A and B are shown apart, each in its own frame.
Chain A
């Protein structure tokens, strides 16, 4: 590490640093909601949309859009942190808690792989998605979630870098072993804790 290299003439624009304790190292606060995706935005019609929880579970489940809408919902207010350095504070979401989904199927594994339209996957330890830490959300700021931002539904795991909050999520596979997902295979960190700056493999 070469922390002592001073950038001659660099002052910085401190207003992007955000309130103390809210913004992890290396991040800046933006009022915008940037969009980052590896490919085209998929658009699955709601009448063909299902959400499935399968793998190491006692009772695999599949919900239609209408059934999913009928599940108990949480209001979530959270700060989100993208590995590309922006953070957005106090974002408001509505969706179904993973605690509820995983209890419903009686999950028995150690890890979860979220799978999505477009072939995207991301992996998480079960411990990172239970205890009020993760949701499948379909509303942002009081409106249906835009396709660009992952609608009709995306995962929300705000305590990890935002690529873990997989867009266009269609289900969860509960596994016994850890299976790195799309970005995790492409050089990003396997867990992605923004407070430890776990951006890339080896961080």
Chain B
């Protein structure tokens, strides 16, 4: 049904960088103080707008990494070497700097704590970011549904939030984490070393009978493949929510 709430414009706000945190050689988290931030749901994103001295502006969208209740808003930015905005956010910006953002945006790729079905999260590369907001929210709940993360990255140094994810999994028997390294892995790694496929999906996320709610986020090719295999396994398309970024087959754009 159409929303009865009056249409309020999502205003641009000044975000002040409080802290930066390198996550990987290619990704950095910005901890932002955004006065009067209206709050968000896990999975939503913001639009960032940068303005050069001469007035030239560029806008891009970035997923929110922090849980809804956190004091500061956190974005994790993956640097795209041919990007316009991400190299600035990942390399140049420093604590004390201010840039504009507006949000939260997106009313579909979101997870609400009252959704009781087992949670299946499938991430490719920096696609982990909105899913991390969901894991962080879930970690604060007393009676959270079970959660299952399948995380595909190229190599060990590309894992974003690795230590935190390990810590969450170690303290929560109802959270399972599986990782796959598609390009390079440590010599002693005995887990998955291939792209996500049907067998992996059957092993890593709850079976059909448990009716998991599935969120898939990552590069287009990975999301297409995972979503197609999930449907082939028999998961109802309506239980699969996807967020794709980049042109087919490569990273880009977000």
Q: Within the assembled complex, what's the spacing in Å between the Cα atoms of A199 and B59?
A: 12
**Interface residue A132 (Cβ < 8 Å from any Cβ of B):** no
Q: Annotate A170-190 by CB proximity to B: 1 below 8 A, 0 otherwise.
A: 000000000110110111000
Q: Within the assembled complex, what's the spacing in Å between the Cα atoms of A60 and B228?
A: 34
Q: Annotate B89-128 by CB proximity to A: 1 below 8 A, 0 otherwise.
A: 0001100011110000111110000000000000000000
- Closest Cβ of chain A to B47, distance in Å, is 8
Taking CB atoms, residues of chain A closer than 8 Å to B47 are 85, 199
Whether B242 and A185, one on each chain, are in contact in the complex, defined by CB atoms closer than 8 angstroms, is: no
- Contact A2/B14 with A30-B247, A34-B246 known, Cβ cut-off 8 Å: yes
Report the stretch among B48-56, B135-143, B165-173, B203-211 that lies at the interface.
Answer: B48-56
Taking CB atoms, residues of chain B closer than 8 Å to A25 are 57
Whether A202 and B105, one on each chain, are in contact in the complex, defined by CB atoms closer than 8 angstroms, is: no
Q: Within the assembled complex, what's the spacing in Å between the Cα atoms of A8 and B92?
A: 9
Whether A12 and B52, one on each chain, are in contact in the complex, defined by CB atoms closer than 8 angstroms, is: yes
Whether B109 and A118, one on each chain, are in contact in the complex, defined by CB atoms closer than 8 angstroms, is: no
Whether A37 and B242, one on each chain, are in contact in the complex, defined by CB atoms closer than 8 angstroms, is: yes
Within 8 A of B (CB), among A14-58: 14, 16-17, 25-28, 30, 32-42
Whether B2 and A180, one on each chain, are in contact in the complex, defined by CB atoms closer than 8 angstroms, is: yes
Taking CB atoms, residues of chain B closer than 8 Å to A201 are 3, 7-8, 10
Partner of B9, one of A10, A26, A148, A203: A203
Within 8 A of A (CB), among B204-247: 220, 224, 227-228, 230-231, 237-238, 240-242, 244-247
Whether B108 and A1, one on each chain, are in contact in the complex, defined by CB atoms closer than 8 angstroms, is: no
**Interface residue B156 (Cβ < 8 Å from any Cβ of A):** no
Taking CB atoms, residues of chain B closer than 8 Å to A41 are 224, 227-228
Taking CB atoms, residues of chain A closer than 8 Å to B108 are 38, 182-183, 186
Q: Within the assembled complex, what's the spacing in Å between the Cα atoms of A10 and B50?
A: 7
Q: Within the assembled complex, what's the spacing in Å between the Cα atoms of A16 and B242?
A: 27
**Interface residue B84 (Cβ < 8 Å from any Cβ of A):** yes
**Interface residue B12 (Cβ < 8 Å from any Cβ of A):** yes
Count residues of B near A (Cβ-Cβ below 8 Å).
55
- Contact A40/B230 with A13-B84, A201-B3, A202-B10 known, Cβ cut-off 8 Å: yes
**Interface residue A7 (Cβ < 8 Å from any Cβ of B):** yes
Within 8 A of A (CB), among B135-180: none
Which B residue sits closest to A4, measured CB to CB?
A: B51
B-side interface mostly: mixed
Which A residue sits closest to B109, measured CB to CB?
A: A38
Whether A202 and B50, one on each chain, are in contact in the complex, defined by CB atoms closer than 8 angstroms, is: no
Whether A1 and B92, one on each chain, are in contact in the complex, defined by CB atoms closer than 8 angstroms, is: no
Whether B50 and A185, one on each chain, are in contact in the complex, defined by CB atoms closer than 8 angstroms, is: no
**Interface residue B61 (Cβ < 8 Å from any Cβ of A):** yes
- Contact A39/B240 with A185-B2, A186-B106 known, Cβ cut-off 8 Å: yes
Partner of B224, one of A26, A33, A148: A148
**Interface residue B248 (Cβ < 8 Å from any Cβ of A):** yes
Whether A202 and B14, one on each chain, are in contact in the complex, defined by CB atoms closer than 8 angstroms, is: no
Within 8 A of B (CB), among A124-149: 148
- Closest Cβ of chain A to B107, distance in Å, is 3
- Closest Cβ of chain A to B236, distance in Å, is 10
A-B contact pairs, 15 of them (CB 8 A): A3-B51, A5-B98, A7-B50, A7-B93, A12-B58, A25-B57, A26-B57, A30-B252, A33-B248, A35-B224, A40-B228, A40-B242, A41-B228, A187-B105, A200-B10
- A-B complex: 7 closest residue pairs judged by Cβ atoms: A32-B247, A186-B107, A40-B227, A202-B9, A202-B7, A7-B50, A13-B84
Starting from the known contacts A12-B84, A39-B227, 19 additional A-B residue pairs (CB-CB under 8 Å) come to A7-B51, A12-B52, A27-B59, A28-B84, A30-B247, A32-B247, A32-B248, A34-B246, A34-B252, A36-B244, A37-B242, A39-B241, A41-B228, A42-B237, A84-B61, A85-B59, A186-B106, A199-B47, A201-B7
Interface positions of B (Cβ within 8 A of A): 1-3, 7-14, 47, 49-53, 56-61, 84, 88, 92-93, 97-100, 105-109, 220, 224, 227-228, 230-231, 237-238, 240-242, 244-248, 252-254
